[in-house]
Structure 1
């Protein structure tokens, strides 16, 4: 008998089993010793990254050295069975999360395009990448049960770029070519996010998270489905949100076979997004020949892009000089709190710009018997993690019965308000 088996037998009776979260039960599936033997080092790295924690922090929580944690994650050593429950607890994952054998959409941080790479720290990128891996795992589980829209993205071939089928490398030309391929015409694009999803691109918005506060957006085409993640700090303004989505779409079609991080790629993505959302030959005749903010505000509602973007388009197309555009930007900043100019439009008012693929996929699967509990067991996640990823809050409306006395008081209050008017 090994030392590990001795420790486990000392801590738990032989009939004991491990439940989700590391608790001991007599009817669960695996012993601590079995989890120890089947421990997947990559899952520990993923769980730690999702928690936004350092190896040093985890070592202190476990009462081991940082070197020991490094060995766990490299696979040169495994955590002792008696450490495993604490490991699951501090990282907020079920103990089964660490088991080898489940599909794992492994993604290196160097394979993801980050909108604000220079402002994003390594641990934030690691957390974002681990979240994206989990998104793919959820998609994989759903696709075993429902048929999601097939990927329709020129050049994409299941996690890599297929030679000879990609769009032109020039950003504006590529934007026009993609519009033609998707049958979008030359006018404004409504419901951009739903259109991306209809072409098989997974778009998600993670819950608000302080660790991701400076991560504007990121995307990858290195998984079997292309994924775009739009963080909550991009959802306060629907126009910024749409432009960012088009920017990330550019990375998918232009830079899938190149290493991310080049500032030139960011400029190309902006040029693609501008042409994709506001084609030059369609919008040029509608743009004013001077910095008319009222006219640009009206065009904002038609084309679904910000006044700031339209001003940039005017300068780019030679309708405004640099000095005129600069003065207009100064005026616009002074009007930032004025509706119709710089004031943001909440994404909550635009259902077609909110991701729905995962939630609708789960809803369809649930019609055929799939439950949150079952999906969580299959993924080895908590129920809360499943709900967060598919976009469900898990909170139900609260029914509150009003007493006769309260109703009378409300009637009296309404009468006073009407009298005051």
Structure 2
């Protein structure tokens, strides 16, 4: 194993564990410099250190072996929905998770034909010169995907049928709330990662998915991290989900929350989004816009406008990877075989697949 040790795998495992080099060094009783040299490939850890590393980082020793397909990403390759409040360690964890999602998809695609990636290349004059580029891009994508007029009933499923890998997983545990969502188009398949913390409201979940789709369409070759890109992705999402030409005639002349709630359920967007849309298309004044937001916040505090979880909306829960595995399994691939091929523990593989744990949950109650 030491001779075939892959330093990039150590970096990936450490980032997935959310540990610094010093933290790993302390666990092993070595210096942080030694861990840095292992990750740089300058030196190789001893066999006993490899076993200890596997224990500390919750992987199996073969995980560190060289030779498996590997897609390296860096921080500039992913658009983070909440970049400023996402700690660097959590961004690293998210990126390492995405690398493993790609590896899983790559392994499955050797056995199952996944939908081809179908994202249009927008003209440069639209992306660079048109101040309405996000809205133009959203309309062009609806046309390219032959989306019928009106609401998009199953957004996540629509994205998957056009070759985009979408995942919904608590990959960062309790820290998922700081990550929110992110995406990358720097792999041969675009990946959008959504988190359960945002899935407690299906409308926010859908808007977040559309926001990340906007990054894939608008910012595929652009360096990430510009706040302006986040605004553009929001504008894309609003136009993609509620095209101005279609939604404007439906918006009330006065900000009637009851009417907006009905439109919310019909179009699959939040009341907040529709209030903002009213101001965006010039249907209401800024003062009316602010009053409506204040009124809605008051009603939410009274639990009169409750969020709707995503669980009841099958078309908004990713299934591409799980269905691909089910098809491969029907043709002879077992979960254990796939885990061995990827050098992953079974719980880790189930997490990547989006499959529920097979262990029953123990609940303790007071008599």
TM-score of Structure 1 vs Structure 2, range by shorter chain: over 0.9
Alignment partner for residue 154 of structure 1, among 110, 114, 120? 120
TM-score (norm 1): 0.82
Structure 1 stretch displaced more, 136-145 or 168-177: 168-177
Corresponding residue number in structure 2 for 1:22: none
Partners of 1:267 and 1:249 in 2: CA distance: 13
Unaligned runs of 5+ in 2: 362-367
**How has the CA–CA distance of structure 1 residues 166 and 394 changed in structure 2, closer, same or farther, with 3 Å as cutoff?**
farther
Indicate yes or no: 2:223 matched with 1:259.
yes
Alignment partner for residue 337 of structure 2, among 339, 356, 374? 374
Corresponding residue number in structure 2 for 1:98: 64
Corresponding residue number in structure 1 for 2:365: none
Indicate yes or no: 2:200 matched with 1:236.
yes
CA drift of 1:81 comes to: 1.4
Corresponding residue number in structure 2 for 1:72: 38
Indicate yes or no: 2:262 matched with 1:306.
no
Corresponding residue number in structure 2 for 1:20: none
Indicate yes or no: 2:88 matched with 1:122.
yes
Indicate yes or no: 2:295 matched with 1:336.
no
CA RMSD of aligned residues (A): 1.6
Runs of 4+ in 1 over 2 A off after TM superposition: 163-169
Indicate yes or no: 2:233 matched with 1:269.
yes
CA drift of 1:166 comes to: 9.9
Matches within 5 A, 1:277-316: 277-316=241-280
CA drift of 1:210 comes to: 1.8
Partners of 2:33 and 2:181 in 1: CA distance: 33
Corresponding residue number in structure 2 for 1:31: none
Corresponding residue number in structure 2 for 1:183: 146
Alignment partner for residue 53 of structure 1, among 13, 19, 27? 19
What do the CA deviations read for 1:260-311 (whole angstroms, capped 9, x no partner)? Answer: 1111101100000000000000010100011100000000010000000000
CA drift of 1:342 comes to: 3.6
Partners of 2:228 and 2:360 in 1: CA distance: 48
TM-score (norm 2): 0.94
Partners of 2:73 and 2:296 in 1: CA distance: 41
Corresponding residue number in structure 2 for 1:25: none
Partners of 2:165 and 2:52 in 1: CA distance: 34
Partners of 2:104 and 2:360 in 1: CA distance: 26
- Report SS of the residue matched to 2:84: helix
Corresponding residue number in structure 1 for 2:213: 249
- Report SS of the residue matched to 1:213: helix
Corresponding residue number in structure 2 for 1:384: 347
Matches within 5 A, 1:164-175: 168=127, 170-175=133-138
Unaligned runs of 5+ in 1: 1-34, 156-162, 399-421
Partners of 1:394 and 1:212 in 2: CA distance: 18
Partners of 1:232 and 1:167 in 2: CA distance: 34
Computing the radius of gyration from Cα coordinates, the structure with the larger value is: 1
Partners of 1:246 and 1:342 in 2: CA distance: 23
CA drift of 1:80 comes to: 1.1
CA drift of 1:213 comes to: 2.2
**How has the CA–CA distance of structure 1 residues 357 and 291 changed in structure 2, closer, same or farther, with 3 Å as cutoff?**
same
Q: How many aligned positions are there?
A: 356
**How has the CA–CA distance of structure 1 residues 338 and 144 changed in structure 2, closer, same or farther, with 3 Å as cutoff?**
farther
Corresponding residue number in structure 2 for 1:355: 318
**Of the two structures, which has the highest relative contact order with CA contacts closer than 8 Å and spacing of 6 or more?**
2
**How has the CA–CA distance of structure 1 residues 149 and 272 changed in structure 2, closer, same or farther, with 3 Å as cutoff?**
same
Partners of 1:292 and 1:394 in 2: CA distance: 44
